[in-house]
Structure 1
Amino acid sequence: MDHSALFTPFSVGRMRVKNRIGMSPMGTNSAFTNGRKDEQEVDYFIERAKGGTGVIFMGCQMLNAKVAQGSMEGYLDSFTVLPSLTSVCDGVHRYGAKIVCQISPGTGRNAFPDTFGNPPISSSDTPSVFDPSVKCHALTKDEIAGIMDGFRFAAGVARDAGYDAIEVHAHAGYLIDQFMSPVWNHRTDEYGGTPEGFARFPVEIVHAIKDTVGDALPVIFRISLDHRFPGGRTIEDSVALLKILEREGVDAFDVDAGCYESLDYIFPPSYLGESCMSYVCDAARKAVSVPLFTAGTLNPDDATRLVESGTVDFVNFGRALIADPYLPVKLQQGHPEDVRPCLRCNEYCIGRIWNSHTKLSCAVNPSAMEEVRFRVARTNSPKDVVVVGGGVAGMEAARVAAIEGHRVTLLEARDHLGGTAGDISSASFKLNIRKLVEWYRVQLDKYKVNVRLNHAVSADDPLLESADAIVVGTGAKPVAPKIPGLDGANVVPVLDFERETSRATGERVVVCGGGASGLDCALELTADLGKRVTVVEMLPECGKDVFFINKITLMRRLQEGGVELRTSNKVVSIDATGVTVELADGSREHLDADCVIDAFGMRPDTTLADAIDARYHDKTRVVGDVRRLGKIGDAIRDGFYAATSLDMDLYI
């Protein structure tokens, strides 16, 4: 597709942007406790500017530590934060990009339960999102006035640092959104009760910013037009707010959908499909005349169509630019095949922030937030490197080693690359996994990796003996529980089903195993193939290995597809007519099935890796599932580490 529409200039107020591509505001969770930005975050944003992004929105920075309630996204309450902010602005401007300072007065009732203090603040005494037993502190008018003073100071900091615009974070059910929404705002004073009352708090914020910067910096307003939960703000409600805010001086809107009550729309997983929030844009375009930004699982083709249609003026890419900071320049130069696809897996971006309280990274791009430390450099001492196994760990090791200048041979026993990732990518909601495997194939060809398919390796292979370094990524194999009938003609291993979905014969299918693999299989069976599906899981919960935000969408779609989830059910036997399970009380039940899917799990396949390591330990690195079962991002990181450490044995 011709993406040239993305590379025309456009203006917001006095800010003229060289193209229509923005980087969505996303927190990195990396600021220091004094509110100052970390140097790695500075490098992270500069890398995206270097890659051709037209306008970069930094993730929300809070007014001060008190309203931040634990957020590690930086504060704007002191001149001491200016040096690092100036560095990022100067670095972005070096490459002709613009940069926007997104400011937030806090998360309000959305504060994390282990960091918010007691109690969190909000528009009213509504329950905290993560601990409903805790009622929020309703801000007083004096406290609101203090927040406005904070915005005046913060706007001055943004101006002095060199930002090109300011965005008000009124999104995701955070504090401003709590004032704008009757479901959370129960006030009876001038800050609630009517559309004008719900708009008063954000309008005063816009005025406070304009008091400081005038028209020098345009004010962009980020808002969810559709909360997507009963009682939440609808598109119609939001349009009324847009009109008031435009009248009061907002220079552009950044629109999408969702809030913490519909959390999967804040961090949309692959299950939500492509361009999942663009449906809100038509109403915004009809309501206001100022420029519009939007985001939400956009791919380059859908983004181009949106701009060409005139529905929006700018398209923001979020995780796609974490995955590949050079996405814009690759599109502009006519090489979309070189764009590394985001999996929308949420594992290493929001997953690391939410689960581990550490900084953002990326499943497919280990250099994210490590742009300097993990920069791939050419070697002065090329080696002969043999990679055994063509899964994602092996392909990443081969790709990076080739970029470094090593002579790389990749050996794969099967007739194609991709490993397990390639096998599991048949479902419609796994489009980007298919794209990733194809991207690796293209990159290995471009970097002239010697790929040998149908090459079964043994420990005495001459290629291993002559190699300077060996990377082994032979993956995992299915577990084989001793269940009568598991080898029956009506039983299909889950990987065999993924390779050839037609093997799931008949209408009724029982999936044995309720982990991520089994649930994805069940969704594919019902959503793509129209089967009647039952999932059997011996644990009390299905999907324990599914990241909780992804699980929201997954479970909803399984329910919509009529999938029956049976927990605390142990498979005791399989026969030609179905599956017999043992219930928690010890009783047994037979589940009728035309086909049974074996999704009992995987285990590392260490036989070949152990033999190679025993013979060539000093030059062997074992990577991916053969070392430790994990997700795609874990395997890619293993391969990246192996390749970038090939020179560690050299003396300087």
Structure 2
Amino acid sequence: MRNAFPNLFSPLKLGNYVLKNRIMNTGHAAHYQQGDGTPSDAYAWYVRERAKGGAGIIVAGHTVPVYDGQLSLSLTNYSDKQSAQFKKMADAAHEFDTPILAQLGHRGRRLMDSGAYHGRAIVAPSPVPTPDFSVPMVMPHRLTIPEIESIVDSFGSATRRLRECGYDGIELAVGMDYLIPNFLHSNGNRRDDKYGGATMLERMTFLREVLGAIRNEMGRECLVGIRMYDDLADFSLQLPEFVELAKILEKEKLVDYFNMWHAITSIPKQGRAHWPSYYFEPGAFVHLPAAIKAAVDLPVVGAGRMDSPGIAEQTLASGKADIIGMAKTLIADPHFPNKAKAGRVEDIRQCIGCTQACVGHVDIGLGVGCIYNPVTGREEVWGEMESAAVPKKVVIIGGGPAGMEAARVAAERGHKVTLIDRGTRLGGQVNLVMKTPKRDSFEEIILWFERQLPKLGVEIRLKTEATVDSVLAENADEIIVATGSTAYMLELDGVDGPNVFTARAVMEGKAKLGNRVVLFDAVGRGEGATVADYIADQGHQVNIVTGLEKLAPDMPSPTRHHLLEKLMGNPAVTITPYTAIFEITEREVEAYNVVTWEPTTIEDVDSVVISAGGIADETLIEPLRNAHPSVRVIGDCFQPRDIELSITDGHKVGREI
């Protein structure tokens, strides 16, 4: 498969640089920063792995050139004291001859949530708050001319520091209702001084001054690009306006390239498009760079679910972009470029669009990870795989996520591995997850392991029931138990009735449901909401009841918002939060409000589905421990959790043996 992707791996002149390929690791919120926004060592290791993996150019995450509060949501570069950490990132990229840019921007009046206060000044060209009612409204401070000039200077100072740290250029963020689009759009800019005006051309004064300050510090030998975001909102800039802006910037020779993306992340309907999940098809956003490319001659970056080298190659060949931007794709597999170039497409961990550990981590304040690549975020300690000092015989019981990853890592380190599972296919509960609507991409997790394990010499025994005697008869040096969990049934009155089923039984095809179904979600992760979606798609009426404040709060926001829109738009679905059940009868469910304790009766119920996760299957653990000196327990049979943590368990134990 040599040269299978000739456009993707052709060089490109970008300013005074020549990129070795057309893959850009686009700037994204990797969230490996300290409280004030100073990058941590983990960020440098994260960058290094993507440079090592073959990216043609890297853009670090959004960086604010002023102090951004005690809990900064972005990287910040406001002081020389931060330079040592930024230099580590530049050095990490340059170790593999990969240019690295910093993305600079200013959040202005924009809020993500109320936590955005914490010492940050909320400022704007005019005293106009964002008319986005999905976050708290805050009246911004109207910037004075001296304050505007100070912000312009801060962009120059940050650029100087970054140049001194070795950065190859700056990408300026223009969009997402940040400060620069506030100046460019008439909604946010109602000034009558030199920074205002009736047209966008007149309102460009601030942008020109910022770009001038950046170019003055970077010089003509380094790169200056601009990432534009179609905000998909009439109170901010949209694609047609960015087409006109790109023409002006090219004519005035202010930038070296354009990068076109979209969506304000705080708005539920739009934010999910900024971090596109499996609800969007691969390559779904090529119209964005194509619109800019049709208007300018400078190179244009296109991004958005570029999950395979084939999609990337097709986009380049069709002339819709010059560079392919990848964020989640390289979170899932930072070595995607090198593998694709070598023709090892089957070895690529393809992003499945789940957003579980990338955006899902950022949602809860963690650095990004990947649902089935546990090295992401742990590059410093797990970036290299060392061979085992003494090869051993390893038997693993259970071929779910934990068992598959333990087998893969142990085999890669040189151990002789046998993997035993009672099912007809590897994957454990992933086989159920992928049956729920829009989540067929989860099968790629299983497919990837089905490709990798045989290559590594793992002996796979399916349809085999492991017993204590049969496992001991293998004479293994190490035994790993990864037998997973069984569905947990809540201890409520009436749960032993013939009309009550677990969510897992529904997906296993073991539940005969009537027309009117009550699904009680006691966990708040994806199981309850997605199984409810599945049941509704089968034509049933579903009342989703949960004692939590909202449905599935622990799902990652992009997939959750898509799912909520579908459920809310289905007249056969009702969502009832703040409500718990305590008794189930033949035709009724007795419930109560968890705040007021007010009881209520849900009538005319045909079936009840309980979504309460699993309980560890510990059947083999103690008998094996009593008979063998080295038995390790991983995954759901240690504690029922999720795919990501089970795979992390398996990876860890595979390295420890």
1:522 maps to a residue whose letter is: A
| Residue number in structure 2 paired with 1:60 | 62
1:145 maps to a residue whose letter is: E
| Residue number in structure 1 paired with 2:528 | 518
Is 1:620 the equivalent of 2:631?
Answer: yes
When normalised by structure 2's length, the TM-score is 0.87
Whether the 8 Å CA contact 1:426–1:434 is kept in 2: the answer is no
| Residue number in structure 1 paired with 2:225 | 220
SS of residue matched to 1:535: strand
| Residue number in structure 1 paired with 2:470 | 461
Cα distance change on mapping 1:599 and 1:457 into 2, 3 Å: same
Larger deviation, residues 597-606 vs 127-136 = 127-136
Question: Which of the two has greater helix per residue?
Answer: 1
Is 1:296 the equivalent of 2:307?
Answer: no
| Residue number in structure 2 paired with 1:287 | 295
- Alpha-carbon distance in 2 for matches of 1:505, 1:460: 40
Whether the 8 Å CA contact 2:394–2:476 is kept in 1: the answer is yes
Larger deviation, residues 626-635 vs 553-562 = 553-562
Give the counterpart of 1:271 among 265, 279, 287.
279
- Structure 2: where are the runs of 5+ without partners? none
Cα distance change on mapping 1:41 and 1:456 into 2, 3 Å: same
SS of residue matched to 2:114: coil
Whether the 8 Å CA contact 1:42–1:87 is kept in 2: the answer is yes
Cα distance change on mapping 1:398 and 1:237 into 2, 3 Å: same
1:158 maps to a residue whose letter is: L
- Alpha-carbon distance in 1 for matches of 2:246, 2:293: 10
Whether the 8 Å CA contact 2:328–2:351 is kept in 1: the answer is yes
Give the counterpart of 1:330 among 322, 339, 356.
339
**Aligned-pair distance for 1:573?**
4.6
Written as runs of structure 1 = structure 2, the 5 A alignment for 1:498-577 is: 498=507, 508=515, 510=517, 512-514=519-521, 515=524, 516-524=526-534, 529=537, 531=539, 533-539=541-547, 541-567=550-576, 568=579, 570=581, 573=584
Whether the 8 Å CA contact 1:511–1:522 is kept in 2: the answer is no
**Aligned-pair distance for 1:537?**
1.2
- Alpha-carbon distance in 1 for matches of 2:80, 2:160: 10
Give the counterpart of 1:430 among 439, 461, 470.
439
When normalised by structure 1's length, the TM-score is 0.88
- Alpha-carbon distance in 1 for matches of 2:570, 2:163: 51
Aligned residue pairs total 634
Whether the 8 Å CA contact 2:36–2:68 is kept in 1: the answer is no
| Residue number in structure 1 paired with 2:622 | 611
- Alpha-carbon distance in 2 for matches of 1:296, 1:563: 33
Residue by residue over 1:298-326, the C-alpha shift from the partner in whole angstroms, topping out at 9 and shown as x without a partner, is 22133222111111111111122112111
Residue by residue over 1:424-453, the C-alpha shift from the partner in whole angstroms, topping out at 9 and shown as x without a partner, is 112452233111111011111111111111
**Aligned-pair distance for 1:381?**
1.2
SS of residue matched to 1:290: coil
**Aligned-pair distance for 1:400?**
0.7
Give the counterpart of 1:238 among 238, 242, 245.
242
Residue by residue over 1:248-303, the C-alpha shift from the partner in whole angstroms, topping out at 9 and shown as x without a partner, is 32221111110122322333333344334333233222333321112222221332
- Structure 1: where are the runs of 5+ without partners? 647-652
Give the counterpart of 2:216 among 192, 206, 211.
211
| Residue number in structure 2 paired with 1:394 | 403
Whether the 8 Å CA contact 2:519–2:543 is kept in 1: the answer is yes
| Residue number in structure 1 paired with 2:171 | 167
Residue by residue over 1:566-599, the C-alpha shift from the partner in whole angstroms, topping out at 9 and shown as x without a partner, is 3137485576xx8756575545344576xx5734
Written as runs of structure 1 = structure 2, the 5 A alignment for 1:181-196 is: 181-192=185-196, 193-196=198-201
SS of residue matched to 2:379: coil
- Alpha-carbon distance in 2 for matches of 1:90, 1:175: 30
1:196 maps to a residue whose letter is: L
| Residue number in structure 1 paired with 2:139 | 135
Provide the identity percentage.
Answer: 26
RMSD after superposition = 3.2
Structure 1 outlier segments of 4+, above 6 Å: 128-131, 503-506
Whether the 8 Å CA contact 2:316–2:323 is kept in 1: the answer is yes
Larger deviation, residues 212-221 vs 432-441 = 212-221
Residue by residue over 1:609-651, the C-alpha shift from the partner in whole angstroms, topping out at 9 and shown as x without a partner, is 44345425752222112222222111111111111122xxxxx
- Alpha-carbon distance in 2 for matches of 1:21, 1:443: 25
Larger deviation, residues 289-298 vs 266-275 = 266-275
- Alpha-carbon distance in 2 for matches of 1:559, 1:144: 44
**Aligned-pair distance for 1:387?**
1.1
SS of residue matched to 1:434: helix
Whether the 8 Å CA contact 1:254–1:294 is kept in 2: the answer is yes
Larger deviation, residues 553-562 vs 215-224 = 553-562
SS of residue matched to 2:211: helix
SS of residue matched to 2:170: strand
Residue by residue over 1:136-157, the C-alpha shift from the partner in whole angstroms, topping out at 9 and shown as x without a partner, is 2232221211122122222233
Residue by residue over 1:222-256, the C-alpha shift from the partner in whole angstroms, topping out at 9 and shown as x without a partner, is 1112x234644332233333333333322211111
Residue by residue over 1:138-177, the C-alpha shift from the partner in whole angstroms, topping out at 9 and shown as x without a partner, is 3222121112212222223333333333200224333323
| Residue number in structure 2 paired with 1:421 | 430
Cα distance change on mapping 1:183 and 1:606 into 2, 3 Å: farther
- Alpha-carbon distance in 2 for matches of 1:35, 1:522: 40
- Alpha-carbon distance in 2 for matches of 1:336, 1:61: 34
| Residue number in structure 1 paired with 2:251 | 247
Whether the 8 Å CA contact 2:363–2:556 is kept in 1: the answer is no
SS of residue matched to 1:169: strand
1:89 maps to a residue whose letter is: A
Whether the 8 Å CA contact 1:570–1:583 is kept in 2: the answer is yes
Written as runs of structure 1 = structure 2, the 5 A alignment for 1:48-87 is: 48-64=50-66, 66-67=67-68, 70-71=71-72, 73-87=74-88
Give the counterpart of 2:315 among 299, 306, 318.
306
- Alpha-carbon distance in 2 for matches of 1:153, 1:573: 66
Larger deviation, residues 128-137 vs 373-382 = 128-137
